Amino acid sequence: MNSPLTPPDTPTGSSWEELVTVALLGTERRTPSGTAPGREAPGALLDAAAVQTVRRRAGLRPGRAAARPETAAAADARPALPRSAARRLAMLLADRPGTGSGGRRGTAPDLMELLPQWLALANQRGFAAPPELLPALLDAARGRTDLRPAALTFAGPRALWLARLNPDWRFALRATPGGGATLPGTEEPERARQLWQEGLFAERVALLAAIRAHDPAAARELLATTWATERAEDRLMFLDSLRTGLCAADEPFLEQALADRSRNVRATAAELLSALPGSALAGRMADRAGSCVSVDHTGGTPTIAVEAPHACDAGMERDGVVAKAPAGRGERSWWLGQLVEATPLSTWSRRLGGRTPEEIVALPVADDWQGELHAAWCRAAVRQRDPSWSKALLGSPSAPEAGGPGAVSLAERAKLLSTLGSAERAEWVAGFIAVHGLSEAFQLLGVCAVPWAGALGRAVVDALNIARDAGSYPWSFSGVMGLAERCLDPSEAGRLDALTAIPDEPENASPGAGGYWAESFQRLVGTLRLRAAMRLELDGAPPAVGRVGSFSGAG
């Protein structure tokens, strides 16, 4: 008997699987049961599918209610968010990335891109997350791994309670040391030793990291108790934890690890020892590298002479030198680079006539060894966090070759910049942009502290304005514009108002470029004012009416 919802002549006897099969094959080749072929067959198929859909939905039995959790969520003692800040968080979490195919973004701020900054500000102020927003916050963190550390810090203990109830949020347990359980500290040696010997691997990693952060010696001694029986991949992970608080007292343990059965463990031990300038390994590497590099005074100008190793002996391999060169690299240059990279940088001033890093880098290098030698010094400066060598290798930001003598790529320059203080980084990148523009500056801007210093922010805006006035293709600067939205100081918004109008386009400008630039600057100004409003809300102050508050509903 047909349902009251069933249209006349609808083949209600057809199963859902049969209807799917008919849809895949097509009604010209097959029709549902009780339906004749012809022009009416497609409509009959859709009618039957509609009826079956209603039946499938209406025929579901209610699921069995889950048992109530045995324990309630832990209380969060942190202060509650100001009401306006809670509303802002709800708005940021409700925003979804656009589904366009790469067209214009318009003038509305990208709220999801502001969520990491909002979370950082909220965590700085020590606020607790509103309980009603925790599911949306965990969903956002599930989809974006970059959000997880800040989101879980803000979510607090209630997020771990929820994660145990919903498999979709289990990442919160994996990302939290011990899965949210309280780890024993150095004041509980027996409990710590028991967990170290009997715990799961993730628990042991979390325990070792927690103890290392507070008592490096205790963590090293705990690791030594089971080192000989650990798997190679576990030894590598545990050894990596010694980077925290690395000191001379770790040297005997690391020297023993140089004889490990695993090549990766040996290489990590050698890397850690080379980061200790006073270690025996650093001294051995300095002796080897020093015999390869010297100053030649026979010509009219002092020149660095290089005699790369002719072989990689067993001692070099034990100290972490990889004997086999990658494809396309010469063996001798490969070995030389590893020796120089692991040599304490203070060695070179003594070895090369008491010269400063700037004077050493300025010396010519014979026989086309300059690129290899300077690249190795770059890696050493980053590994040893030596700002004086980093500045020497970066050189002047206004250099015509758009980089220092030792920085052969933007990635290397960015790494060198990361060893400098935030003010020096901003000053160098601002000078680079003033001379070379924005085309090569994206990676360099990524290592600068947020919000950008005033001089750096002005350099970026001036360069964008110059590109706009020159009629440059606007989409090529979208990445820098996106960085500016997140990193410019919000106080710069007032200075940018003049750039939000549509400019007169030069003859050679890309069609519609002026409108795009105007939209981009309007979005930049709106985003900066929104960021200012976010900060005021988290501080508990009402946003100013008009200039800041007018963007409270953007998105």
Confidence of residue 539 (pLDDT cuts 50, 70, 90): very high
pLDDT at residue 471, rounded to an integer? 76
- Model confidence over 426-471: pLDDT tens digits? 999 999 999 988 888 888 999 999 899 999 999 999 999 888 887 7
pLDDT at residue 344, rounded to an integer? 95
Q: Which long-range contacts (CB under 8 A, 24 or more apart) does 172-180 make?
A: 172/138, 172/141, 172/148, 174/202, 175/148, 175/149, 176/152, 177/206, 177/207, 177/209, 177/210, 178/202, 178/203, 178/206, 178/207, 179/203
pTM of the full structure: 0.75
Helix or strand run (H / E) with residue 303: strand 303-306
Angle, helix 454-469 to helix 513-538, in steps of 10 degrees: 160
pLDDT at residue 188, rounded to an integer? 78
- Asked whether residue 547 carries a pLDDT value surpassing 90, the answer given is no
Q: What angle do CA 176, 178, 181 make, to 5 degrees?
A: 100
- Model confidence over 108-165: pLDDT tens digits? 888 888 999 999 999 999 999 999 999 999 999 998 989 999 999 999 989 989 998 9
Alpha-carbon Rg for the chain, nearest whole angstrom, is 32
